[in-house]
Chain A
Amino acid sequence: MNNRINRLQHVARAICTILVFQVFGLAAQGIWEGGDPANGQSLFNANCAACHKITDEILVGPGLAGIQDRWPSGDEMLVMWIQSPQEAAETGDKYIKSIVERYVGTYGWMTGQAVSEADISDILAYVTSPPIDGGGDTASSDNCPTIDYNTPEESDSSNAMWFLILLILFTVIALSAAGVKRSLTDVIAEKSGEDLLPDTGYLTRLGGWAWNNLVMVSLIGIFFVLYGVVVGYSALMDIGTYSNYSPEQPIAFNHSIHVCENEIDCKYCHNSAYDSKHAGIPSANVCMNCHKAIKKGKRTGTEEIEKIYAAIGFDATTGTYLDGDGNNGKALPQDSYNGEPIKWNKVHNLPDHVFFSHQQHVNVGGLQCQNCHGDVSTYSVGRIAPVEEINTLIDAYPGIIQLSKPTLTMGWCIECHNKAEIDLASSGYYEEMHDRLMNSERGNEELRRYLEDEKITVRELGGWECSKCHY
């Protein structure tokens, strides 16, 4: 309802503006009129959006909604204020002074913007009458399907449990039925004066039956043994493989929204993948780079984002950080704030005796993240992508190495090391290794052996050796 009224107001204002133009003619055209809202939007996003919103919400600077009604100091002053804030403040303008007092203490001076008067006019056109559809949210959510792997599946184990219960029930019924039958037989025998059946146990009788049906029993036996071997083998092979593992996380973080819809690069958040063995889980201050502005999520509203704020000590209403004593008003996260850190559940667990380095694979090897982690943009929580799924990504991500062993097992690692090629011309380090191969007899021999399959793989340069990963 409100929205509609707002829009009507905008339309009305636009009509008024047009009327004003009509009346006064072009001579009186100021910065408030005649701007191009489309150009204004792109200029706004490029220059202003880091600190200002077009609503009345305070980000770093004040929200710009209603600026046309509250700016008292004339067009020239506004242009000066935008282009060179400190200069404008020196003029002693009262309104500017009030803004300076309110914001500069916390956030520092606004940076002077290199925009012309015409640009400002465009921006104001956008700010005062933003596009009706609200903008921004147009990124098609349809192209970014979110597969929530976190919904608890109906597991096989519960079915098995029912089977077991039924089996026990049937056994009990069968046994009691047999008991009843036997008692009845005994009663009949007693009545007819015959001898009672010898009091044999179930096992003896079962043994007797089995003795009489040896072939049948052998076949059943062989079947069970084979079945046991097959099931046992596959169960054992599953030990230590965690395909599809996607534990619930303390924050309902959605990769799809961030990666697919908002097109954030993996390494923006997992930035240490480039310089460390750990890809790293982003610290809360990295989240805050965006979430200082984005206070409300599309799906979960403020609930999940509030958890980040609680951890780092951010007061969403004032847009400032809290210090250890609970006072807000700080522009940067405070070390003194003693927030409870976010305890994520680790998804990709390697045993302690495995040394894996992201920087070796990402930075030196140039592998794509998808090669090991699958297409994270399609699902919500972090998860171990099954190798079959990763293999299907070859079209979207050419260069992905096709593998067959379960993800994150040693078989998978060394399979890749056997397939992945090294370009010896790629760096000075490998050039030196190449020279050593070229410059000695033994080296030549080795190189010939390497090149039997016409490529040099990681394995051939030692990628299968124990102490490359275990030390």
Chain B
Amino acid sequence: MREIHISNVSGVNLEALDEGLRALPGAPVVGISLRRGALIVHLAAEADEAQAAAIRSLVRGHDPQKPSAAQQARKTRDAQLKSAHDDALSARQAASDGATLTLAQQVALLTRRIDWLEKLLEALVKGEKTL
């Protein structure tokens, strides 16, 4: 196995950088490590100099603020859950305030609250949320 050491690295988004490196053509990347401020890229023994150069270039251009696909999906999921939660709270308030609601209106409010619970349960089952 080969290693590329890059010293004095700060602000690494490990998940995003790992994803980007593995997506390189030929992908000789076994993984990356952080040791006392240094970034180490682990490469398969057969990695050639062109691949090593592509890796160095990608690391130099790494933006830790840019999320990985999985991080972006989690962010979107969190936003959807928050929105559903806010909507459920608002539905609960509307139900308690509306003494003259029709049955259809009450069902609609209840459906909004169930929708949030469904989303929350799904996220818990997938491990995207913990209790």
Partners in one complex: no
